[in-house]
Amino acid sequence: MNFIYIIDALRTPVGSPFKGLKNFTASQLAAVVIKEIVKRNDLDRSLINEVILGNTVSAGIGQSLARQASIQAGLPVSIPAYAVNHVCGASLQSLIIACQAIRSGNAALILAGGTESATQCPLLFPNVDENLEISKAKGRQFMESLINDGLFCQLTGKRMGELAEDVAQRFKISRKAQDQFSLESHQKAVAAQKQGKFSKEIVPVNISSQQVLNKDERPRKNLTLKSFELLAPAFVKSGTVTSGNSSNPSDAACILMVASEKFSHKNKLKPLARIAGHVSVAVEPKDVFISAVPALKECLKKCRWSLEDVDLFEISEAFAAPVLYAQKILKIPPEKVNIWGGDIAIGHPLGAAGARILTTLCHALADQKKKRGLACISYGGGGCLATAVERT
């Protein structure tokens, strides 16, 4: 088999909305990472066959996001680039498409990942009369594109938080368990930051001539369980899902350099990991937050691994309840899951979220000198993507 390798995986820090990265467009964030990943690996840029970027909320970002980022990063204009929208799974879907292109022989080296600026998601004025002046639209009802296009399921008529609440209620996942999980996510992320665990995956972003952002903004070190208990339910009046045990849409970009076995050997590249398998599963839209279970099972089956063969898991923390559900059903040891914290602590940049967890997984495996890892992320509309990697 012609193996496919992740040569490198880098990301920006994850910025909280309207904070450090607020002035960067989604394409500019991606360009920062593309430029750095090419520089670090000292490769002839003309050898790159494609750039594939995931993005979720595309309103207002301009034509051809991936082309913008590619050219802003200084890549040759001859390199094709395009964007993929698969909600929160967009960037991991980009990686899967890259793998398929390489496996088919149509490419040897691809940059795949995703980017999102929650800050710059615009407000929308739907159904405005074509003769109505913009100035007169101020009194009209608007919608937030971030919510409408990224956080609301049109198929169920529910916000993603309401669907997470459904999981908590159906499977009796308590508010205390969700809050405790979320507190531990922050504690792990803060500890990882302090120990410099993210340093190899984060590309510092120059905000100004005097300011550089080099770490994720969201993790908080002074939280206690009481901090979470004080928060009101966010989606259902008597519910258990709060802003504390949910992730925060964020600003970030993440890029993985993916290559064929032949290309890697020819160019004497030392990969981070080999892609052992990937799957995509679809479920009823209302069951989106239990979809990690069939996805993880299917990916294990495809790789011919048992659950015990996996050293580390990265399961997207859009909300605490779905991760707790997956851990319980599959009997995944908690100490193997999101060892440096997850989206609840770090942030959830929609179009880059899947690539972010896979990037962190690859670097965590190397740091811990572990061999096998599995990443998965559920997406609105009802489904989940999973990717397995193995250090060589």
Give the pLDDT score at 125: 79
Confidence of residue 286 (pLDDT cuts 50, 70, 90): very high
**pTM reported for the whole predicted model:** 0.96
Confidence of residue 142 (pLDDT cuts 50, 70, 90): confident
Give the pLDDT score at 97: 98
Distance CA 174, CA 385 (A): 26
How far is residue 292 from each of residues 169, 310, 377, measured CA to CA in Å? 18, 15, 7
* Mean pLDDT, range 59-88, rounded to an integer: 97
Residue 129 has pLDDT above 90, yes or no: no
Residue 147 has pLDDT above 80, yes or no: yes
User: What would the pLDDT profile of 293-337 be if each residue is shown by its tens digit?
Assistant: 999 999 999 999 999 999 999 999 999 999 999 999 999 999 999
Distance CA 170, CA 148 (A): 26
Q: Which two tokens stand for residue 83?
A: 């964007």
Distance CA 101, CA 49 (A): 10
Of 179, 186, 184, 190, the residue nearest 228 (C-alpha): 179
User: What would the pLDDT profile of 94-110 be if each residue is shown by its tens digit?
Assistant: 999 999 999 999 999 99
* Mean pLDDT, range 33-51, rounded to an integer: 97
Give the pLDDT score at 361: 98
* φ, ψ at 27 (rounded to 5°): -70, -35
How far is residue 195 from each of residues 136, 341, 367, measured CA to CA in Å? 53, 13, 11
